[in-house]
Amino acid sequence: MAHFTRASRFTLSSALLLTVALSSCYKLRGHYGGPQTFEPLTRTVKTEDVAVPAGYRVEVVAQGLTYPTGVAFDEQDTPYILEAGYSYGEVWTAPRLLRLGAGGSVQEVYVGGKNGPWTGLTYHQGAFYVSEGGQLEGGRILRITPQGQMSVVVDGLPSYGDHHTNGPVVGPDGYLYFGQGTATNSGVVGPDNADFGWLTRRADFHDVPCRDITLTGQNFTSDNPLTEAKDDKATTGAYVPFGTATTKGQVIKGRLPCTGAIMRVPLRGGPPELVAWGLRNPFGLAFAPNGKLYTTENAYDTRGSRPSYGAGDVLWEVQPGAWYGFPDFSAGQPMNTSDYETPKKADPSFLLATHPQQPPKPAAILGVHSSSNGFDFSRSATFGHTGEAFVAQFGDMAPEVGRVYGPVGYKVVRVNVQTGSIEDFVVNKGRTNGPGSEIGTAGLERPVAARFTPNGEALYVVDFGMMPMTEQGPSPRKQTGVVWKITKQ
């Protein structure tokens, strides 16, 4: 009988209790998410190495893709696939929109420039909408027709940092909604942003609040990666460029577009309107069958000048105008407590002197460092689990994001948004969790998006491909991406 992970309910409190319980008998280890090598790797794919619940079937519909991140369907239910064109590790390729044909063949519809990553894709009334991450030139939302005609819906988005322009999705109101991630891990530019590659390109870039905020004046002294002087230090505050100190009571003016927010624009384009803010990296967006908007949020890492320990990714119901806690709360809980204290460092003190509101309650709290990303809701009784969210978990990027007990994520989970309960739905078979390249199987590597077909009878899972974490950082592998298809028998 195929091994399948049993149902589990995950909360922040249970995660913390588990940490305490294990601390006496287990040791945190530097997990590298796969083989520690930069040498070429080939990927073998076997559906029999992937476990799904009884009554469901998994198949491969495309493989050999380079950094795929999204899938969408036209009126004829033809699948289209998005390739990112950029990956962490500062690896650049050409972003592409591809039409999937018979036998897994692909045809180019449109090829972009050097401004990836392309992080999300949706289709609406005769056109595709693509979120262009904008690592070099700033974020944009593109409109691309099936004939390959491109126009820009919105540009100038603050997307040069750690996180990018994400989404998009069209709402019942006819607006185009998208997410914009933050520049930094937790509000302060530091040497870790030079490791990501952007600080040396954009030394003046930093997080931008959506509304006016008042600072506590907390500053952080770190090594200065912008000079070659030995032992050179820099002092940096929140929401300011690297090497700039702040003062108590200092006001940072809000503006749009901003970082760490969900915004919307009319389909014809126009100035972005704020929907919600205080989100670290709102990656996936989806409307539930009841018309409510939800987002996944990638939570804080244990890195940089202001690290945080033990912050789980979150699935939120998006309330218009709400503030979700960045940079001082995680999953609705204040961070200035020992719960988030990094070993050998103090807890993350508040950066904001006053908070716009108490953050809402999460719909669900997902795994720490799981990188819970693109998702969709089941709308079909034929497939089952109507109204539940199916979330693709890219998997941890340890040790860069912090140390872990073992691989986290690398699967698709389903979430009951009414109760917050979480169950594994698509996982690799085996005694341990992890990408196939690490646990010795030919199954999943890094699921990044999950999307149902228009009739709701099939779930497509976009697998980014092999990306080992080496001692030098991420090492993504071209032509190892896969698209999986799950149906109910």
In a domain, 6, yes or no: no
Torsion (CA) 332, 335, 340, 341 in degrees, nearest 10? -170
The pLDDT of residue 8 is above 50: no
Asked if 323 and 276 count as a contact pair (C-beta separation under 8 A), the reply is yes
User: Whole-number mean pLDDT of the chain?
Assistant: 91
Tens of pLDDT, residue by residue over 178-220, are 999 999 999 999 999 999 999 999 999 999 999 999 999 999 9
Give backbone dihedrals phi and psi of 223, rounded to 5 degrees, phi first.
Answer: -60, 150
pLDDT score recorded for residue 279: 98
Residue 336 DSSP label: S
Among residues 457, 467, 461, which one has the least CA distance to residue 437?
467
pLDDT band at 22 (very low <50, low <70, confident <90, very high): very low
Task: Specify the 3-state DSSP secondary structure of 90.
Answer: coil
The pLDDT of residue 28 is above 70: no
Among residues 11, 17, 1, which one has the least CA distance to residue 364?
11
pLDDT score recorded for residue 319: 98
SS3 readout for 374-417 = EEEECCCCCCCCCCCEEEEECCCCCCCCCCECCCCCCEEEEECC
The pLDDT of residue 137 is above 70: yes
Tens of pLDDT, residue by residue over 406-453, are 899 999 999 999 999 999 999 999 989 999 999 999 999 999 999 999
The pLDDT of residue 381 is above 70: yes
In a domain, 36, yes or no: yes
Task: Specify the 3-state DSSP secondary structure of 60.
Answer: strand
In a domain, 3, yes or no: no
pLDDT score recorded for residue 33: 65
In a domain, 160, yes or no: yes
Could you give the CA distance from residue 190 to residue 206 in angstroms, rounded to a whole number? 10
Q: Which domain holds residue 452?
A: 12-488
Tens of pLDDT, residue by residue over 62-75, are 999 999 999 999 99
In a domain, 74, yes or no: yes
Asked if 445 and 437 count as a contact pair (C-beta separation under 8 A), the reply is yes
Residues of the chain above pLDDT 70, percent: 91
Is beta strand 251-252 parallel, antiparallel or unpaired with respect to 213-214? antiparallel
In the predicted model, what is the mean pLDDT of residues 124-131? Answer: 98
pLDDT band at 89 (very low <50, low <70, confident <90, very high): confident
In a domain, 252, yes or no: yes
pLDDT band at 37 (very low <50, low <70, confident <90, very high): low
The pLDDT of residue 358 is above 80: yes
In the predicted model, what is the mean pLDDT of residues 111-120? Answer: 96
In the predicted model, what is the mean pLDDT of residues 278-305? Answer: 97
pLDDT band at 473 (very low <50, low <70, confident <90, very high): confident
The pLDDT of residue 166 is above 80: yes
pLDDT band at 31 (very low <50, low <70, confident <90, very high): low
The pLDDT of residue 14 is above 70: no
The pLDDT of residue 32 is above 80: no
pLDDT band at 19 (very low <50, low <70, confident <90, very high): very low
Report the CATH number at residue 440. Answer: 2.120.10.30
State CA 144 to chain mean position distance.
23
Could you give the CA distance from residue 463 to residue 448 in angstroms, rounded to a whole number? 6
Residue corresponding to tokens 């322009």 = 165
Minimum mean pLDDT among 10-24, 113-127, 369-383: which range?
A: 10-24
The tally of domains found in the chain comes to 1
Tens of pLDDT, residue by residue over 227-280, are 988 889 999 999 999 999 999 999 999 999 999 999 999 999 999 999 999 999
Could you give the CA distance from residue 132 to residue 93 in angstroms, rounded to a whole number? 14
In a domain, 2, yes or no: no
Among residues 26, 43, 50, which one has the least CA distance to residue 411?
50
